């Protein structure tokens, strides 16, 4: 065999090797695409607030059930915080699913993806379908998390705030609004305390307290809290939290109709609030309690107090 023939053979072999490597590279990338993320990209692409009928989030020591109800959402039967719900669905939509970073189950414990440490998120779709993911520890680059499907060993890094929106106590999912009143419609506020009762009355753009000019700054604080009284949390075992004679704040309309009532009790360290007929007892900040139910003496304008 001549030297020229050998060169032609080696050249042809080299071309075949290059072609094979190129074909392997591109074909390998194409074939691995659907499974390179462990199938998680398809899972995150489906659920949203319009396609899901329920979400169950189970983590160490607690389970929270999220469900739409009458145009809003509930968290384990309680009214849900709309902001928390919005953040959750935004995190689902914005989740960036990366590639597989581990496929050996021996790594699951290190990544927080074993049964006793992972958070399980179950989506029940409106059409009856279901989808579940396991969420583990923070991933290599914040914000991210290690995630896998329950029936698979492959672990994928999901970038975004999904982990932070999942790892929440039930209290963080619940609506902490104690009371919300349209203060533009408020014509009168009645404060009933241990000190007595004082009536704050609107007259055009001015306010009076028991017929005397009122301290506008104090009245403004009451109205601000009435418009949206927010709590810090909840008292799970309310028991005898409330005094027999709590402070009562009553907002009335021009025709005498009741627009809202809130009951306040507790000392400077722990203040509580609830609305009549409700068993939910809220923990409220001390400054909010003082604003919505101030000392009666402070309600009068300074020049009125001097008279």
Mean pLDDT of 48-63: 94
Lookup result for tokens 């379908």: 129
Evaluate if residue 13 carries a pLDDT over 60: no
Helices and strands counted in the chain (H then E) = 8, 20
Q: Are 183 and 223 in contact (CB under 8 A)?
A: yes
Q: Are 274 and 242 in contact (CB under 8 A)?
A: yes
Phi/psi for 64 (5° steps) reads -120, 135
pTM of the shown model: 0.79
pLDDT at position 31, please?
39
Mean pLDDT of 89-93: 95
Contacts of 57 (CB under 8 A, 6+ apart): 63, 64, 65, 66, 119, 120, 121, 122, 166
**With b meaning 16 or more CB within 10 Å and e meaning fewer, what string describes 7-16?**
eeeeeeeeee
Mean pLDDT of 207-216: 93
pLDDT at position 142, please?
85
pLDDT at position 242, please?
61
Average pLDDT over the chain reads: 86
pLDDT at position 26, please?
30
Q: Are 284 and 231 in contact (CB under 8 A)?
A: yes
């Amino acid at each position: 065999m001549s030297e020229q023939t050998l060169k032609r053979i080696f050249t042809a072999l080299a071309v075949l090797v290059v072609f094979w490597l190129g074909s392997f590279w591109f074909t390998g990338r194409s074939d691995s695409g659907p499974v390179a993320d462990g199938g998680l990209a398809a899972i995150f692409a489906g659920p949203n607030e319009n396609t899901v009928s329920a979400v169950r989030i189970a983590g160490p020591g607690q389970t929270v059930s999220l469900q739409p109800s009458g145009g809003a959402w509930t968290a384990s039967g309680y009214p849900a915080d709309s902001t928390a719900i919005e953040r959750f669905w935004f995190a689902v939509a914005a989740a960036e699913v990366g590639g597989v970073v581990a496929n050996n189950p021996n790594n699951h414990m290190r990544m927080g993806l074993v049964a006793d440490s992972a958070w399980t998120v179950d989506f029940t779709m409106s059409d009856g379908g279901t989808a579940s993911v396991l969420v583990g520890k923070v991933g290599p680059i914040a914000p991210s998390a290690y995630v896998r499907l329950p029936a698979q060993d492959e672990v994928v890094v999901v970038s975004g705030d999904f982990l932070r929106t999942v790892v929440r106590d039930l209290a963080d999912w619940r609506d902490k609004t104690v009371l919300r009143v349209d203060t533009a419609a408020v014509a009168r506020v009645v404060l009933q305390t241990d000190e007595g009762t004082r009536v704050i009355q609107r007259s055009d753009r001015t306010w009076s307290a028991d017929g005397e000019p009122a301290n506008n700054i104090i009245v403004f604080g009451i109205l601000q809290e009435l418009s949206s009284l927010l709590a810090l949390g909840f008292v799970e075992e309310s028991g005898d939290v409330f005094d027999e004679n709590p402070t009562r704040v009553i907002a009335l309309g021009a025709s005498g109709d009741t627009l809202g009532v809130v009951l306040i009790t507790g000392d400077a360290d722990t203040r509580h609030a609830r609305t009549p007929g409700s068993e939910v007892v809220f923990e409220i900040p001390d400054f909010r309690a003082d604003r919505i139910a101030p000392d009666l003496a402070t309600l009068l304008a300074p020049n009125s107090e001097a008279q």
